[in-house]
A and B are shown apart, each in its own frame.
Chain A
Amino acid sequence: MISMNRKKRDEVVDNLSNMDLVEGTSLWKDAYLRFMKNKAAVTGLILLVLMTLLAFIGPYFTPWDYQSIDWSLIGNAKDGGAPQIANRHYFGIDDLGRDIFARTMQGTQISLMVGFVGTAVAVFVGLFYGAIAGFVGGRVDNIMMRFVDILMSIPIMFVIIIFFVVFGRSIFLLFMAIGMFAWMDMARIVRGQTLAIKNKEYIEAARAAGVSGIRLITRHVIPNLLGIVVIYTSLLIPSLILTESFISFLGLGIQEPLTSWGALINEGAGQMRYGVPWQLGFPIAFFVVGMFCFFFIGDGLRDALDPKDK
């Protein structure tokens, strides 16, 4: 009798554990599988990883760095500066005799970093702002969102440029300022989602268990927003890279000898009348490929995580 019971119990335990395995596809695992089925997104992701690796490892494979000048070729970029393996200027040299490969790698590093750091700032601010506005509701929500509306109807690029002019240009400020003025969309989306979430039963349960205030937001509201936040984060990164490139293209962003995609494209565009197409071509190629990767990854994430699609 006892042994029978034990046998039965073992069976039940077995069944349960097997069931657990079958049922165990969580939202995230599901999304992961769907993302991996999207060829464009996976290609984008692989290309982006390769590009990032190249940007950080590439500089070790060239004797030139991003600011030293090749005195044997200076002033002779048109005839002697074309890309070649022999003198190890893989992407050629620019008008000042600097190695474009090294500069492009350095610019890629900066542009990617601006994208990721700026986005981190924007997501952090937007997430908390939106969650608090949506969660508290009422008059606070009204005022907070009115402020977001105001910020969104101002041409922010001019404000960022004024910011740089007033506080001086530094790489730290570049990262912060671009993120500081990009959180409004995120705040709006998060607020909308929070309004939907806050009346759910599990929030009520948490409240009943005595959780309150900021802890309720950080532990119960924000984790349930993550899907939509991931989607918009992936779209925010390229748009911030674009912002930085725009400002640097105008010569108001990153400062020499450091460089970024926008600054490189600006230099290349200024020199293209003098027969050095590689100075424009390589930075543009990196920029366009990078942007494509981000857009395809963003599309893939949206398809993978969008709850509408279920």
Chain B
Amino acid sequence: MLKFIVKRVASAIPTLLLLILFSFVMMRLAPGGPFTSERALPVEVLANINAKYGLDQPWHIQLWRYIEGLIFHLDLGPSFKYKDRSVNDIIAQGFPVTMTYGLWSFAVAVVVGMSLGIMAAVKHNTWLDYIAVGISIGAQVLPNFIMAPILVIIFTLWLGWLPGGGWNGGQWNHVIMPVIALSTSYMASIARLTRGSMLEVLNSNYIRTAKAKGLPMRTIIFRHAIKPSLLPVMSYLGPAFVGMVTGSVVIDIYFSTGGMGQFFVDAALSRDYSLLMGITVLFGAMTILFSTIVDILYAWLDPKIKL
């Protein structure tokens, strides 16, 4: 087990380095420096600015400095746009917001999705099953950027129950709509996957044996059926996490939560390369870390994988 964990973690490192290298190269390929503007700066001033940000160095030294700062000081460098702030400052401001509703969304998607899927499978071919299947098919064509305006129409403009945006320190009524908008389509996918694998498990021989033994349905489901039927769902959690991290950009923009997504899009529009790169590296590191954890959990849960 330990060997597997070490191996898996070790293989995550080159991925991260490649991501850093890729985004670094992209930034260097961009036409014009970050300080080229329509109003041309005097040459000496530009040289001074470039020297301050280390842009006068050859690129391999720049890359080394970036990686060095990242690894030894967890420092993502200064923002090119917000002159007096570092990328770390900006992330420290936006990250907690994104994390708050992101974790809630993930929890909702997993818990509601799995429960819905299990219920649908256990009550196969009843109205409950049909409703669950209907919801999961419908929710598949409702990605976050469709859900968000629809929710605002219903709960803000029509019913007037919830505020249509803002964050207000994470008060519950500001968190609900972002969570629903972000989690719905993943909830649907998880429900569909769970239902499918649960049905397969419930039709298998050992469940029939358990039934023949006279075990009550509840024991069969919770003791014998759930664990194996969740394995395929586990392997979907990685992609779901990536999707939610990406989707958070839409949520941040649409609900003006002040999270990372807003900074990311601002940085993209104003060509703030260091901030763009910092956010990409952070989100990349998160997803790589997450998929590593999921892999380890999977190996631990699946009796077929020998360690």
Contacts and interface: CB of A to CB of B under 8 A. Distances in A.
Contacts of B166: none
Contact of A166 (B26, B140, B146): B26
Contacts of B268: 161-162, 164-165, 252
A245 interface: yes
A257 interface: no
A163 B25 CA distance: 11
A288 to B, nearest CB: 5
7 contacts: A155-B287, A157-B246, A158-B280, A162-B23, A162-B27, A162-B280, A266-B145
B284 A158 contact: yes
A268 B149 contact: yes
Most B-side CB within 10 Å, residue of A158, A251, A269? A158
Contacts, number: 106
B146 A154 contact: no
A292 B250 contact: no
A273 B269 contact: no
Nearest to B242: A155
A153 to B, nearest CB: 5
Contacts of B291: 153
B189 to A, nearest CB: 12
Most B-side CB within 10 Å, residue of A164, A265, A269, A287? A269
Most A-side CB within 10 Å, residue of B12, B242, B291? B242
Contact of A265 (B18, B146, B283): B146
Given A153-B15, A153-B287, A295 B141 contact: yes
A258 B152 CA distance: 27
B276 interface: yes
Contacts of A153: 12, 15, 238, 242, 287-288, 291
A265 B254 CA distance: 12
Contacts of A163: 26
B245 interface: yes
B145 A245 contact: yes
Interface of A: 149-150, 153-155, 157-159, 161-167, 242, 245-246, 249-252, 262, 265-266, 268-269, 272-273, 277, 280, 284, 287-288, 291-292, 295
A165 B146 contact: no
A298 to B, nearest CB: 11
Give the contact-size bracket for chain B: 35 or more
A165 B265 contact: no
For the residues of A in contact with B, the DSSP-based class is helix
B283 A155 contact: yes
Nearest to B18: A150
Given A165-B276, A249-B250, A262-B145, 9 more contacts: A150-B14, A150-B15, A153-B288, A159-B22, A164-B268, A242-B143, A245-B143, A250-B253, A272-B152
Interface in B76-94: none
B265 A251 contact: yes
Nearest to B268: A165
Contacts of A272: 149, 152-153, 157
A162 B22 CA distance: 10
A284 B141 CA distance: 10
Contacts of B280: 155, 158-159, 162
A288 B142 contact: yes
Contacts of A277: 153
Nearest to B143: A242
Nearest to A246: B145
B279 interface: yes
B30 interface: yes
Nearest to B14: A150
B27 A269 contact: no
6 smallest A-B Cβ distances: which pairs?
A: A269-B149, A291-B141, A157-B246, A166-B30, A249-B145, A158-B280
Nearest to B271: A165
A280 B157 CA distance: 14
A274 B142 CA distance: 23
A295 B140 CA distance: 9
B149 A265 contact: yes
B264 interface: yes
A155 B284 contact: yes
A166 to B, nearest CB: 4
B19 interface: yes
Contacts of A150: 14-15, 18
Nearest to B164: A273
Contacts of B157: 272-273
Contacts of B146: 265, 284, 287-288
A262 B264 CA distance: 18
A266 B253 CA distance: 11
Contacts of B265: 250-252
B148 interface: yes
Contacts of A158: 246, 264, 279-280, 283-284
B161 to A, nearest CB: 16
A269 B148 contact: yes
Given A162-B26, A162-B280, A166-B26, A155 B149 contact: no
A157 B283 CA distance: 11
Nearest to A163: B26
Contacts of B277: 162
A250 B249 contact: yes
Contact of B141 (A159, A249, A288): A288
A267 B15 CA distance: 37
